Amino acid sequence: MQTHIDPKQHVATGTGFHVFVGWSLFLILFPIIILLTIVGTYGLALIAWIIAGVLYSSRTRKARARLRGSAVLVNGAQFPWIHEAARGLAKRLGLAECPDIYVIEDNQQNAFALKHGSKRCVVLTDDIVYGALASGNTRALNFILAHELAHHALGHTHLLRRFISSKYLPLSRLDEFSCDAVAHALIGDTAAARDALILLLVGPQLFQRIDKEALDQQAHSVLADRHSKKSEAGLSHPLLLRRYAQLQETRTL
């Protein structure tokens, strides 16, 4: 029986502290930056800031139009199995409306959540869809969908929240751990969670040749290596094997 999942119950440890730090830095530094640019340009920057705010709505409409014009919209007729899976997951997350799901052509295993104005979207690359199907475990795609929907459910795609996490990378990395945990709670399939991360790691061509026990051991060694976390400085996402190992540590794989 499918049940509702409260995504806030699966937020990564330490996120609250880093949200506080991120917002504090934003509220302190952003007004200073605006003031300095205004003073440094004798008031001309104020006009630029006002124009940027006025044009924001136009830019979001153009971005939405570009996406609709260059990607395939998933619906009841187009990739219906993705459509049904996304609707079910969104409902269980408590989202009032399922975000639009798009498939784009791109030479990488990837997916991402977007918000253009008030419109929520999830974008899947063709390679990640193909890879999930080729893996032999189609629920791997459900894990990826659930991860991206979790970004929306946890508010990560709101304009200011997205801006803060894009500049304050420790928060961005914690958000990825949170969405992995939410996705696993939704899917409840440990093999699908593992397969999804392996697809992101090596792609569909090498997927069947991966020794999963050996990969488990490598992931544990990465997690135990104190330099692994330090190496993430400057990255918006954690190392893939740290994500993999984190799920193992919480008994989700």
Per residue in 180-237, pLDDT (tens digit) is 999 999 998 888 899 999 999 998 889 989 999 999 999 999 999 999 999 999 999 9
Three-class SS of residue 201? helix
Number of domains in the chain: 1
Q: What is the pLDDT of residue 247?
A: 84
Q: What are phi and psi of 195, to 5 degrees?
A: -65, -35
Q: Are strands 100-104 and 72-73 parallel, antiparallel or unpaired?
A: antiparallel
Q: In what order do the strands lie in the sheet with 72-73?
A: 72-73, 100-104, 119-125, 111-116
Q: What is the dihedral of CA 116, 122, 128, 129, to 10 degrees?
A: -130
Q: What is the pLDDT of residue 250?
A: 63
Q: What is the pLDDT of residue 84?
A: 96
> Does residue 3 belong to any structural domain of this protein?
no
Domain range enclosing 225 = 9-249
> Does residue 232 belong to any structural domain of this protein?
yes
Q: What is the pLDDT of residue 39?
A: 79
Nearest to 81 by CA among 106, 101, 99: 101
pLDDT exceeds cutoff 70 at 66: yes
Q: What is the pLDDT of residue 252?
A: 45
> Does residue 1 belong to any structural domain of this protein?
no
**Residue 96, number of CB atoms within 10 A of its CB:** 6
What's the average model confidence in pLDDT over 160-181? 96
> Does residue 134 belong to any structural domain of this protein?
yes
More confident residue, 52 or 8: 8
Contacts of 115 (CB under 8 A, 6+ apart): 121, 152, 157, 158, 159, 162
> Does residue 174 belong to any structural domain of this protein?
yes
Instruction: List, for residues 73-86, the tens digit of each pLDDT value.
Output: 999 999 999 999 99
**CA dist., res. 220 & res. 185, Å (int):** 22
> Does residue 130 belong to any structural domain of this protein?
yes
Q: Which two tokens stand for residue 24?
A: 């504090």
**CA dist., res. 219 & res. 236, Å (int):** 19
> Does residue 2 belong to any structural domain of this protein?
no
Query: DSSP 3-state helix, strand, coil percentages of the chain (rounded to 5)?
Result: 65, 10, 25
